[in-house]
Structures are given as C-alpha cells and as structure tokens.
Amino acid sequence: MKYKNKFLASAIALGLGLTANAQNNNFTINGLGRSIISQNDLGGNITKDDNSYQQSGTAGYNLFDLQTNLNVDSNFQAMAILRAKSPFGALFGQGTTFDFRQFAMMGKIGGFKYEIGDIRVQLSPYTVYNNDVIPGRTFENALFSMRREIIEYENFNLGNTWLLQGLAGQHFFKFNEEGKGLGIYAFTSRNVPTNDGGIPDRLLSGGNVELRLSKGLKLGINAVSMYDVSPFGAQFKYLNNVGTGYISYFKETSSMYLQARFEGGMSGYKFTENPNTPSAVDSAYNDGFVDVDARLGLKNAKIKIDANFRSVGVLFSSPSAQTRRINENAQMSMFTFLSTPQIGLIRQQLLFDRFTSEDIYNSQITPNLMAFLPYYNNTNPYGKATPNRIGGELGVSTDTSNHVLDASVKGSYFTEVQGEGGIAKRQFLLVNGGANVHLGKMLDITRIFDINFGARYENTSRTQGALVDLNSTLIDAGLTFELVKKLDFLVGMKSFTAKGNEFTTNRNGFNAIDGFDEFFIDINEMIYSAGIRARFNKHQMFTLNYNFTDMKNNDKYLASSSYNFGQVFLHYRGIF
C-alpha cells in the first residue's frame, strides 16, 4: 500500500509541480495500457503417464506505462516512463510493482544535440547493432506479429537499437547548403557496474564521424570500445575495440536508383587476468571483415534488387553487434519442466516460445558469443557480424510504392572461413521469401482482406571429417478479413520442420572453441492460430484468439517426448 501511495503521490506531484512551474513550458503525457490473460494446457505423449508436474495454468498481467514529457525549450527536454504492473488475479494490489521504466533528458545547445539517461544507440551491423535473428517475421499473420510486438516492447527492442544507460552527443558541421559537411556522434554507457571489489565497471563507448562530400557520397568511420575501468585489486581487465571505415554512394535517375556501401574494419580483443600483479596474463587476438552492399531500384517495375558480399574473420569480436536478443538457455515461464523439477527435464524452446515468451529475451550486451540453436538460424546467428563466414546474398523485392503486393525472395550462400573441428568447412544455403497480398486493395474494397504466405529453407552441410547435414523449413500462411467495420477475423499457421545432425560449439571465456556436441534432430512443430481483433480506434485494440502448438518428435529415441499445448489468449492494448 505504501508503494501505491508513493507512486500516486509522485505522479500527482510530478504533474502538478510541472504544471505549476512550467506554465510556459510544454508538458505532455502519453502512455500505454495493456492487459493480457492466457489459459494454457499441456498435452500429448509426454503427459500420458505422468501428471506430477504442471500441465495447466492461467497467467497474465495488467500494466500501465505513463510517459511524462517535459519540453522546457530546445535546450532541455525530459522524458520518464512510470510503470504500474500487477499480475493477473492479484487482489487489492498485492504483488503490484511500480517502477521507473525509462528515463532520459535531452536537448540541443546551439547545433549540439545531447541525450542523458536511457539512450538508444545504433551504428553499423559490425559495431553497434541489435540483430533480429528470429526467422519468419516478414510474412506472418498479424496474430503472430502482435505477439512479437508485445515482446519487443517489454524487452526495449526498437528496430536494431540497443537501449543503454549513459550519454550521447552529436553535432553536424555544415560546409555549404548542398549538404556537404561533417557529422560527429559519440556515446558512452555503463554495461556492468562494479561491486567495489574485484569486479570492475564495464563501459561501452563509441561513435561515428561522417564526411558528406556530396548529396550521394559519404565517407565515415565507426568506433566502439567495450572496456573495464579497473578498481584497485581488480581480478581481471577486459578490452574489446572495433574500428571500421565505410563509403556510401547513392545515385538516382528518373527510372532507377543505385545505392552502394562498403564497410571494412578490424577488432581487437584483450583479456588480462590479475592486471595489477607481476603475474598478469593476457589473452589477445585481432581479426577483421569486409562488407559490400548494393541495391538497384527499378522505379517503373517497382522492384529493387539487393546484393551483398561479406567476409567476417574467425576471431572478429564485436559484442555490441554480436550479442543476441534471445537467450537460448533461458527458461520459459510457461511449462518450464516436462517432468518434476527434481528430475529436471527442461522443455526446449519452441518456435512458438520464441515469439511469445517474454522471459527468454536478452537486453544486456555480453562479451562472449551467446549459444544458439542451429536449426533456427545457422547461417547468420549473430547477424551480419557472425564470425567465420564468407559468402553473399542476392534478393529481389517489391518497393514501398507497391501498395497491393509486398513480396520478396532472397538467397544466401556462405561457407566458413576456417573449418571447425577439422579443415573441412561447413556450407550454408538459405532461401527465404514470401508475400503479403492486400486483396482488399487489389479488389478495390474498403475492408481489410489480406493473405500472407512465406517460406524459409536452410541447409547446412559438411561433407568431410565430422559430417553435417541439417535442414530446416519454415512455412507461414495466414488470412486477415474485416468481417464488419473494425472487427477482423484472423487465422494463421506456421509449420517448422528440422531434420539432420549438427554440432553445437562450446566456447571458453575468451570466445575460443574448446569442444563440440553433436545433436540429431527430427522435429515437426505446427502452430495454428485463429481469432478476432476489434480495433476500437487507431490506438485501442482487443484480440481474442486460440493458439494450438503441436510439437512432434520423429526421432525414434525421443518419440515419447512429443507434446502439444493449447492457449486461449486475450489481449487489450490502449495507447494514448
């Protein structure tokens, strides 16, 4: 109760105080309210003979994010998001939490822009970049993308930015009115706090300098460093530097445009144990990458053609570009165990979990390469900065001027730069594509009538030494139809199959490979979803749908581990 009172008092005081003191200022509030209730049931072979663990449950929460925005003048603005969240079924506020979810101050002094507090940072895919490495988002039904949006909001994922706590500043020195000039951007943030003992502060700092030679030609450098600020008696000292240079070129005519970008750079890693002693031990390595991107846009045909070549060294290390936003080792809150906790048979993450479970996401930049499940994405598990890859991509897609059809197809072929566990190299083939067809617009009817379909096929192979042959296929299909005004019927399906063998890589604390574990897989996961969506207005929405996920294990040694779960999902979201 005390917390509630404090929260209400703070909110009122903040509002009144700012209103009183900021009569000439611009004070606004906005926010988001969300309510989620889900009823989940576990079934299938694995539950047949054993009901000693949780096989059914109701979950959910109500939350309200109040964002206060103060705009004193161009020199100073501030933003704070206060969150009240209560678990579903909490009586009289028990279990309700009140937090400051986000806080930032920003402004512009002369031509210098600054941000302090929670800042969003993104540079290039090799320096600071929060990769979306979960397949199947482009051509899925709104029932699934809505779930992703919840997860992304809850985990502070916005585009490819990382949300960091620190400060940033930027300035553009304009040389002339035609756009020539020099832009400078720098940031610093704290990634890990010191314990005032043997654990040092770990900071992430970096920036960008870009020279605009003309409207279509830019040269620039990116730099980012993750480093320890060692207190006296620190047990270790970590340093990782990445520096890149790039050239960006753009040319446009009435019928086409050409974009080209080259980026290349190096990374340096150094870890020192007992840095303040004569027996200090260093582990260090360097490596680099090159990347060439090109896009040709054909305006009359309303298509664009993309090509990319890249080579990333085996020891290229860039934590703020290679950290994954999903943690493969995290446990889901729903049906964590497929046995009693004592036996500890932990349920493996399914595709369904990867876009519905808030608990498996990661928002912390990690110095070591995180584990990944190869059958979900083996070609680029760490995005473009995935080490030990050389190859290219070629894609064709519709451009944004095409309002009836949104379609693309892309093929990728990569190999390892050096073999793992032998001189033979893995080869990766990835093809994905699909379409969102806006039939309503095509047929010139006012109601929403969309169909979507997509497919993704990935093959990994190694034909000598330790043999690898892993195939995975993801198929998406769905339909959205506006039954009556602002009331939609939606149905979606995902089919994921994975079959073959592969090796997961064990790495030590210095990112070096020290072992492999072979696994065999033969699974088929089907996800069906159907429901209705009421769009009260542009900002308010209610969805009721039923999801059924059937995980079939075809491996003869693991056939009894097949299971399914059904989920009734209610979701209300209001933005103001």
Residue among 426 and 573 whose Cβ is closer to another protein? 426
Neighbours of 179 (CB within 10 A): 13
- The span of 101-109, 124-132, 136-144, 459-467 binding another protein (CB under 8 A) equals 459-467
Which tokens go with 122? 């993104």
Cα–Cα distance between 497 and 365 in angstroms, integer? 31
HEC assignment per residue over 143-187: HHHHHHHHHHHHCCCECCEEEEEEEEEEEEEECCCCCCEEEEEEE
Q: Does 294 sit near another protein (CB under 8 A)?
A: no
What mask of x and - would describe binding to another protein in positions 211 to 240, judged by CB under 8 A?
Answer: --x---x---------------x-------
Residue among 375 and 503 whose Cβ is closer to another protein? 503
Number of residues in contact with another protein under rule CB under 8 A: 53
3-state secondary structure of 352: helix
Q: What angle do CA 307, 312, 244 make, to 5 degrees?
A: 90
Q: Does 140 sit near another protein (CB under 8 A)?
A: no
CA-wise closest residue to 333 among 88, 115, 1, 116: 88
Q: Does 557 sit near another protein (CB under 8 A)?
A: yes
Residue among 120 and 270 whose Cβ is closer to another protein? 270
Min separation Cβ 505 and another protein, Å: 7
Residues 343-382 touching another protein, rule: CB under 8 A, are: 343-344
Q: Does 168 sit near another protein (CB under 8 A)?
A: no
- The span of 27-35, 38-46, 192-200, 294-302 binding another protein (CB under 8 A) equals 192-200
Cα–Cα distance between 379 and 417 in angstroms, integer? 13
Q: Does 175 sit near another protein (CB under 8 A)?
A: no
Member of 21, 26, 195, 276 binding another protein (CB under 8 A): 195
Min separation Cβ 248 and another protein, Å: 10
Residue among 73 and 514 whose Cβ is closer to another protein? 514
Residue among 313 and 319 whose Cβ is closer to another protein? 313
Q: Does 575 sit near another protein (CB under 8 A)?
A: no
Cα–Cα distance between 85 and 98 in angstroms, integer? 7
CA-wise closest residue to 539 among 504, 503, 495, 573: 573
Residues 502-541 touching another protein, rule: CB under 8 A, are: 503, 505, 512-516, 518, 520
Member of 311, 408, 452, 564 binding another protein (CB under 8 A): 311
Contact status, residue 7 vs residue 101, Cβ threshold 8 Å: no
- Pairing assessment for the beta strands 303-312 and 256-273 based on DSSP bridges: unpaired
Q: Does 51 sit near another protein (CB under 8 A)?
A: no
- The span of 271-279, 296-304, 497-505, 523-531 binding another protein (CB under 8 A) equals 497-505
Q: Does 420 sit near another protein (CB under 8 A)?
A: yes
Which tokens go with 23? 């009569």
Q: What own/partner pairs with CB < 8 Å and gap ≥ 24 does 40-43 have?
A: 40/334, 40/335, 40/565, 40/566, 40/567, 41/565, 41/566, 41/567, 42/335, 42/563, 42/564, 42/565, 43/563, 43/564, 43/565, 43/566
Residue among 62 and 505 whose Cβ is closer to another protein? 505
Contact status, residue 362 vs residue 323, Cβ threshold 8 Å: yes
Residue among 261 and 552 whose Cβ is closer to another protein? 261
Contact status, residue 155 vs residue 350, Cβ threshold 8 Å: no
State which H helix or E strand residue 378 sits in.
none
Cα–Cα distance between 226 and 229 in angstroms, integer? 10
- List of residues contacting another protein (CB under 8 A): 195, 197-198, 213, 217, 233, 245, 247, 249, 260, 262, 264, 266, 285-290, 292, 311, 313-315, 331, 336, 341-344, 388, 417-423, 465-467, 501, 503, 505, 512-516, 518, 520, 555, 557
